[in-house]
Chain A
Amino acid sequence: MSTHAASTEASWETGDNGVAVLTHDRLDVQAIAASVADDTAGATAVFIGTTRNSFRGKAVTRLDYQAYSSLAVKTMANILRDACNKFTRSDHRTDKQQVSAVIKCTVHHRLGTVRVGEPSIVIAVSSPHRKESFLACEYILEEVKARAQIWKREFYEGEKEEDAEWKSNNGP
């Protein structure tokens, strides 16, 4: 399969301690989790999305990811910024300041061929307390799946390559 000219490596920093990355390299979960480490954090939530080995009874051999990288990385960075702005409350705060409860957040997404069992997306969020890191992590995942200009094609055992299906997260 040809690689799309626009499906290139890209990364974007939001300026609010958020980093969005698209890469052909394998995702290093330890390094990504460590990248949001902060001495003021009491919690780090990490989500790892991996390639599943079956779809409706068919054996999946691999997934190919493609992105409109220059736009997708901006969309991902906007989602990180939204996550920082959305989760501002902490039950433990005594003052009334509206500060972000997200200290650092990052989303890394694979491009190209991802074999069964390998991570295709890793999200890490650090926060002072556990609740906001869980919530922000889930928010980032759902928004990336719904909005980021990234596509996956699923290849099945015993089927021709050209019959492989481009998936949709929102459609039937």
Chain B
Amino acid sequence: MSTREITVLYFAAAATATRLDYERIPIPADGGLPLSSLSQILASRHPNKGLDQILATSQWSVNEEMVDDVSTVVLKGGEEVAVICPVSGG
């Protein structure tokens, strides 16, 4: 059985802090990964880079849809998740 994983996209301040555009995160084989626990996982993979503070002010998108209620989302594997920092277009 292949390992299930999600792809996490980083933009703007999150990409600068992690020095990554994206990374793949494994999903526990039993059940899924609550989106609410992803911040902790990412922050622990990139300690001392200010990512925890960036995540605290950011939103999530899953498969190109903004997430309104983080508590309702459980990642099953295969999703494209993005850290959406406060936007600054225009």
Spell out A's residues near B (CB within 8 Å). Answer: 2, 4-7, 49, 65-68, 70-72, 74, 109, 120-121, 141, 144-153, 162, 166-171
Contacts and interface: CB of A to CB of B under 8 A. Distances in A.
Contacts, number: 87
A170 B89 contact: no
B16 A150 contact: no
Nearest to A4: B21
Contacts of A171: 57, 86
A141 B16 CA distance: 27
Interface stretch (B6-14, B27-35, B38-46, B71-79): B6-14
Given A151-B85, A166-B13, A145 B90 contact: yes
Given A68-B84, A147-B87, A169-B89, 9 more contacts: A68-B9, A121-B89, A121-B90, A141-B90, A145-B88, A149-B11, A151-B85, A153-B12, A169-B90
A145 B85 contact: no
A68 B15 CA distance: 12
Interface string B48-71: 000000000100010011100000
